[in-house]
Amino acid sequence: MGTNELNRGLEGVLVAETQLSHIDGERGELVIGGFPVDELAANATYEETVFLLLHERLPTASELGEFRAELRAHRDIGAETEAVLRRAAEEDTPPMDALRMGAPTASLGVEEATDEEAVRRVVAVFPTVVATYWRYRQGAEPVAPRDDLGHAANYLYMLTGTEPDEAAVRGLETYLNTVADHGLNASTFTARVVVSTESDVVSAATAAVGTLKGPLHGGAPGPVLDMLRTVHESGEPEQYVRETLESGERLMGFGHRVYRVRDPRAAVLSDAAERFYERGGDVDFFDTVREFERTAVDLLAEHKPGRRLETNVEYYTAALLHGVGVPQELFTTTFAVSRVGGWMAHCLEQLDDNRIIRPRSRYVGATDRTWRSVDDR
């Protein structure tokens, strides 16, 4: 690549080496910490996945117990953070804005001696911030975290005040594992840029949340659920797809910038959703999800021959999170609850062999201007 070659969006530009995840877009493969995503997501707890990302190996039983205890010890938020979240809820602030406001304040009164300790605090506190905001938004008091529940179960418990059943916990756990890391996506790259200046990991997480808030990065599962509900009510998947394509609109939940085949995360979440709905979810709704996928893939192939536009992670994210009871308004913040583990691992990896991230730009503006005083302009 020549030094003056322009790559918009840094597409194809290598800026880091990582041991955290590997994407093969042509073959539809994702490896996280050395494990195929389907093997890791279906078997691990979220705590095991985060430990793997932070330490490049799975924990022993004793290490896992210690790591869980460390996360539990960092779940609580102070009155200052609760006040911010209450105000955000009263003003109908969108959930991602509430997370952006609340998460940084959670470091008040907490002194972390090392970056590793601060990382554990950030990972542990994200679910509490989201759930506290949501309880206030519903006109209810926050539910305090429980020390006897794992990360995924505790998140669902804080949202509802009711201990979730095993099927819901496993479904959410699989989701959190599946999306914990995914290369140098926009929010992860942002986190690495921030810490490359030797800033702190809380600032990096806050900046990453701001990046994830953008609809081009993390905002599609909500519209996917709207689409699936519409199709479920009408019972006309083919009509919906044809009308969408003929109008020139994008069919949400299909296609991906990186993957040229089916998103491997969609396969993992598809299996997880099927297991969940078979245990007592809304089977009729899930039948619609399956039928719509088959119909859309066939019609997309007909509409755009030569291109393979199949389901991406957002399609089955919508089906699974809806099934386990996560409110639609919290789909993107729940994505952040997972991805923060990847953000923090990337921060530590960046700091381990740091060089400030400083790309170049090409100037295309004027070069021949002469200064005039304000009276002569």
Give the DSSP per-residue string, 104-151. Answer: HHTTTT---SSHHHHHHHHHHHHHHHHHHHHHHHTT-PPPPP-TTS-H
Which of 232, 256, 322, 346 is the catalytic position? Answer: 256
- Identify residue 257 by its one-letter amino acid code: R
| Distance (Å) of CA 356 to CA 119, 193, 196 | 20, 7, 5
| Distance (Å) of CA 197 to CA 192, 358, 375 | 9, 10, 43
Q: Which long-range contacts (CB under 8 A, 24 or more apart) does 112-117 make?
A: 115/200, 115/201, 115/347, 115/348, 115/351, 116/54, 116/348
Encoded tokens for 168: 């819901």
Residue with tokens 């290369």: 183
Chain Cα centroid distance, residue 300: 26
Of 179, 194, 211, the residue nearest 346 (C-alpha): 194
Which of 314, 322, 346, 349 is the catalytic position? Answer: 314
Encoded tokens for 300: 């997309």
Q: Residue 85 — φ and ψ, nearest 5°?
A: -70, -35
- Residue 53 CB partners (closer than 8 Å, separation 6+): 20, 32, 33, 180, 181, 341, 342, 344, 345
Give the DSSP per-residue string, 334-363. Answer: HHHHHHHHHHHHHHHHHHHT----------
Q: Determine whether 55 is an active site residue.
A: no
Q: Determine whether 256 is an active site residue.
A: yes
Radius of gyration (C-alpha) of the chain in whole angstroms: 22
| Distance (Å) of CA 181 to CA 143, 154, 233 | 28, 21, 35
Total residue count of the chain as it appears in this document: 377
Relative to beta strand 21-24, strand 29-32 is antiparallel
Give the DSSP per-residue string, 154-172. Answer: HHHHHHHSSPPPHHHHHHH
Would you name the residues annotated as active-site residues? 256, 314
